[in-house]
């Protein structure tokens, strides 16, 4: 296992629609081990493949009691609305309030290639949607009004310069 370098905004890979995962083999399992290790090291609750520079539809998460690997994820149903702070390891965890559905149903393939569906609410639902967005080349700041998006990006750039 090894910790991978986290890709940060505005790296182009973060804006690409990911390629589907096609092989469910030991290599994929090893990649997911690295992704979990990288995510825990960065104290995140979810990490998608584009965040370590790979143009792939794949994420791992361990959020609010839900720990899973999702290959080729899609959100197949949503309900309600929630509005709370969200951040992203690729945008220096600068927080911003994002409005999203309260509940979400994720459909994806596990490490064995079997399709599964999982329902979540609140924080975990937010994580499903945030990570699935990454696989579609979307960042949480793309959900923000223009001015707030600029504020987050500017704060991120400033903090990066100070590092
Ligand atoms: Zn993110």
Residues 138-161 have pLDDT tens digits of 999 999 999 999 999 999 999 988
CB-based contact 120:100 (threshold 8 Å): no
* Known active-site residue 131: yes
CATH code for position 72: 3.90.45.10
CB-based contact 57:13 (threshold 8 Å): no
Q: Ligand 1 mean position to 10 CA, how many Å?
A: 12
Look at residue 1 in the predicted model and tell me its pLDDT: 83
Q: Look up residue 69 and give its two tokens.
A: 């690997």
Residue 42 lies inside a defined structural domain of this protein: yes
Residue 4 lies inside a defined structural domain of this protein: no
Residue 95 lies inside a defined structural domain of this protein: yes
Residue 7 lies inside a defined structural domain of this protein: no
Residue 117 lies inside a defined structural domain of this protein: yes
Which residue range forms the structural domain that includes residue 157?
A: 12-162
CB-based contact 126:84 (threshold 8 Å): yes
Q: Ligand 1 mean position to 86 CA, how many Å?
A: 9
Residues 80-108 have pLDDT tens digits of 999 999 999 999 999 999 999 999 999 99
Residue 6 lies inside a defined structural domain of this protein: no
pTM to 2 decimals? Answer: 0.97
Task: Write out the residues surrounding ion ligand 1, Cβ under 5 A.
Answer: 88
Q: Ligand 1 mean position to 131 CA, how many Å?
A: 6
Residue 40 has, within 13 A of its CA and on its CB side, a CA count of 10
């Amino acid at each position: 296992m090894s910790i991978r370098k986290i890709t940060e905004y505005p790296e182009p890979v973060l804006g690409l629609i990911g390629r589907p995962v096609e092989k469910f083999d030991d290599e994929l399992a090893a990649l997911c081990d690295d992704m979990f290790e990288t995510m825990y090291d960065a104290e995140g609750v979810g990490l998608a493949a584009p965040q370590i520079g790979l143009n792939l539809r794949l994420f791992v998460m361990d959020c609010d009691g839900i720990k899973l690997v999702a290959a080729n994820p899609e959100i197949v149903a949503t309900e309600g609305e929630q509005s709370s702070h969200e951040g992203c390891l690729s945008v220096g965890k600068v927080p911003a309030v994002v409005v999203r559905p309260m509940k979400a149903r994720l459909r994806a393939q596990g490490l064995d290639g079997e399709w599964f569906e999982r329902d979540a609410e609140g924080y975990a639902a937010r994580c499903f949607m945030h990570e699935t967005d990454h696989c579609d080349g979307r960042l949480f700041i793309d959900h923000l009004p223009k001015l707030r998006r600029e504020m987050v990006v500017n704060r991120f750039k400033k903090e990066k310069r100070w590092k």
